[in-house]
Amino acid sequence: MATSSLSTQIQPRSPQGGFVNEAFVDFKSPSVARSMKAALDQLGGQLGREYDLVIGGQRLRTEGKIRSLNPARPAQLVGLHQKAGAEHANLAMKAALDAFESWSRTPVETRVSLLLNAAEIIRQRAFEFRAWLTYEVGKNWAETDADVGETIDFLEFYAREALRLASATTPIQFPGERNELHYIPLGVGAVIPPWNFPFAIMAGMTAASIVCGNTVILKPSSDAPTIAAKFVEVLEEAGMPGGVVNFCPGSGASFGNAIVEHPRTRFIAFTGSKAVGLEIHERAAKAQPGQIWIKRTILEMGGKDSILVCADADLDAAVEGVVASAFGFSGQKCSACSRAIIEAPLYDVFVERVRERVAQLTVGDPAANHNLGPVVNRAALDSMLGYIETGKREGRLVAGGSAPVTEDGGYFLEPTVFADIAPDAVLAQEEIFGPVLALIKVENFAEGLQVANNTEYGLTGAIYSSDRAKLDHARREFHVGNLYFNRKCTGAMVGAHPFGGFNMSGTDSKAGGPDYLYLFTQAKSVAEKL
């Protein structure tokens, strides 16, 4: 395992310099495109490697295995991973508890340095990580760039936030006393990230945990364990001591439940579906024998996100924003627009314009940088095809609706649009998590806002309008955690758009915002009489 001596070999950005979002790259540039193609070619020789569990800095292998496959070419093995079972829960917990004793007392500046070192390593090897995302989860080039950039942003942002938190003071100094306020780590946390942002969300939840002095048991998604293994390698290279992050792929039903229910688990940071999030919340709420705290759950769950298009909207901008929000990464984002709500005077022309724009999108291997790559696996594709059959009964198929057959058997689905969907229809209420868009007609703005708020979720939303009064009204009454005016409802930027939703969309954790690290700490007030 590497030591912290690496900090003298690289030159991370100073946390005193202020946070700036990582710049996007321009893949239209021939040199940039060549770099991406070279990374994909080079990485092709590394596919199929076997990865170990990492517990307490030690490598372990298990009899059970997890096979991570390229969803564009399911016969292609991306990585072979060990499968942690319930029997590994105590081993991982002991390693994390042992590491917590020293890591929790490590100066915040050292913990911050780890994050900054890791950010610089990723920055220098960005094309490599972009290529991993293409192979493991089927992201096209722009989507990989956004994922890698957000990973760097989380590391840089949380490093600075940790320093700010460490300098917190009480609002006043009471006469005759010295008053202090300290935000101290919680303990051992379970980090359970999703497959759709397998780098950024995984790294963000992990980085927030450890920069505050906690230690982590990381259980990545079985659809995306390789990128998580690569991140753990980066942390080790950046100087992370053994046991601070323990890498344990495994099934949710065995290893995941064992960690969530463990009496020494202090918090669970989860991003994923509503069903799994609620199950974690329920399991964590039950106190186990020997448990001396109430476990904290930090949950980001699903969405059924709407874009409201008013009759006074810029039509071109609205069409582009809806299509980009609905079909970026094949709609596999909790923030994706799955419902466009259109005022009646604009409805017919909007439907036709969306149909024309969607017809321009291409579907194919993301390594060749198509607009839409595959969906994540066969089960997801089958579920989406089931929703499409429902949509044919509930509305009018405008575009798509089929799964193209490819020579390599990839899990591809055409961008699909249904018009004339009722506000209470299945397609308008249930999260599909794929490239399926429902168009809903409303008579006016008031009805449109009512429809936008009619689901159990409340994650993202947007409104296209040139009427300031409508925007001001939506600011108050459009009930979502992330609301956007005259732009798409995806693409939250760290620092600018703290991310998290209401209702069944989760605990509104506001990742990438100034309040996020509070969730991974507990406040301790100290008063000394002078």
Neighbours of 398 (CB within 10 A): 18
> In terms of domains, do 284 and 311 share one?
no
Q: Say yes or no: 83 and 40 in one domain.
A: yes
Which tokens is 286 given?
Answer: 């039950």
Residues 191 and 86 in one domain: yes
Q: Could you tell me if residue 377 is inside a domain?
A: yes
Look at residue 523 in the predicted model and tell me its pLDDT.
98
Separation CA 324–CA 103 (nearest Å)? 43
Q: Is the pLDDT of residue 8 over 60?
A: no
pLDDT digits (tens, 9 = 90+) for 88-124: 999 999 999 999 999 999 999 999 999 999 999 999 9
| 426-430, Cβ contacts within 8 angstroms, sequence gap of 24 or more | 426/387, 426/390, 426/394, 427/387, 427/390, 427/391, 427/394, 427/395, 428/304, 428/339, 428/455, 429/304, 429/455, 429/456, 430/304, 430/387
In this structure, the answer to whether residues 390 and 285 fall within a common structural domain is: no
Residues 322 and 257 grouped into a single domain: no
What's the CATH number where 419 sits? 3.40.309.10
**What pLDDT sits at residue 13?**
67
Residues 389 and 368 in one domain: yes
Which of 13-17, 35-39, 179-183 bottoms out in mean pLDDT, i.e. has the lowest? 13-17
Q: What is the pLDDT of residue 376?
A: 98
Does the residue 24 lie in any domain? no
Residue 372 reports pLDDT greater than 70: yes
Catalytic residue among 143, 161, 300, 431: 300
Concerning whether 310 is annotated as a catalytic residue, the answer is no
Pairing of strands 53-55, 58-60: antiparallel
Backbone region of residue 243 per phi and psi (left: phi > 0; alpha: psi in -120 to 50; beta: other values): left
The Cα–Cα gap between 494 and 512 comes to 5
Span 261-303, pLDDT tens digits: 999 999 999 999 999 999 999 999 999 999 999 999 999 999 9
Q: Do 208 and 330 belong to one domain? A: no
91 in a domain, yes or no?
yes
DSSP structural state of residue 253: I
For 177-309, where are the alpha helices, taking DSSP H only? Answer: 200-211, 225-237, 257-261, 274-285
Give the whole-angstrom CA distance, residue 422 versus residue 490: 24
Q: Which amino acid is at 314?
A: D
d(CA 416, CA 261): 40
Backbone angles phi, psi at 168, to 5 degrees: -65, 150
Neighbour count for residue 409 (Cβ, 10 Å): 14
What residues contact 403, with CB distance under 8 A and at least 6 apart?
381, 385, 411, 412, 413, 414
Provide the b/e sequence for 459-492 (b: ≥16 CB within 10 Å).
Answer: bbbbbbbeeeebbebbeeebbbbbbbeebbbbbb
pLDDT at 6: 35
Q: In Å, what is the CA distance from 210 to each residue of 188, 203, 476?
A: 10, 10, 36
Question: What is the Cα Rg of the chain in Å?
Answer: 23
Q: Give the Cα separation of 284 and 276 in Å (integer).
A: 12
The CA distance from 326 to 329, in Å, is 9
Tens of pLDDT, residues 377-397: 999 999 999 999 999 999 999
Distance CA 343, CA 448 (A): 7
Residue 69 φ/ψ, nearest 5 degrees: -115, 150
Using alpha carbons, list the distances in angstroms from residue 103 to 48, 187, 206, 312, 339.
34, 10, 14, 56, 46
CB distance 491 to 470 below 8 Å: no
Among 192, 197, 241, CA closest to 54: 241
pLDDT in tens, 320-347: 999 999 999 999 999 999 999 999 999 9
pLDDT (average), residues 312-327: 98
> Does 467 share its domain with 517?
no
* Same domain, yes or no: 115 and 214: yes
**Total domain count for the chain?**
2
SS3 4: helix
Token pair recorded at residue 160: 């600075």
Rounded to two decimals, the pTM is: 0.96
Q: Among 17-26, 48-57, 293-302, 484-493, which is the least confidently predicted range?
A: 17-26
Q: What are 457's two structure tokens?
A: 């979720």
In tens, the pLDDT along 60-79 reads: 999 999 999 999 999 999 99
Does residue 6 fall inside a structural domain? Answer: no
Using an 8 Å Cβ cutoff, are 90 and 263 in contact? Answer: no
Residue 479 lies in a domain: yes
In a domain, 1, yes or no: no
Whether 327 is in a domain gets the answer: yes
Model confidence at 17, pLDDT cuts 50, 70, 90, reads confident
Question: What is residue 511's DSSP assignment?
Answer: B
User: Of residues 212, 248, 310, 334, which has the active-site annotation?
Assistant: 334
Structural domain boundaries, residue 366: 305-494
The answer to the question of residue 480 being in a domain is yes
Q: Does one domain contain both 237 and 330?
A: no
Alpha carbon 486 to chain centroid distance? 23
The predicted pLDDT at position 186 comes to: 98
Q: What is the CATH number of the domain that holds 116?
A: 3.40.605.10
Number of alpha carbons in the 13 Å side-chain half-sphere of residue 327: 29
User: Length of the chain, please?
Assistant: 530
- What is the average pLDDT value for the chain, to the nearest integer? 96
Tell me: do 131 and 274 sit in the same domain: yes
3-class DSSP state for residue 34?
helix
**Could you tell me if 518 and 430 lie in one domain?**
no
Does the annotation count 300 as an active-site position?
A: yes
Each residue of 392-419: pLDDT tens digit? 999 999 999 999 999 999 999 999 999 9
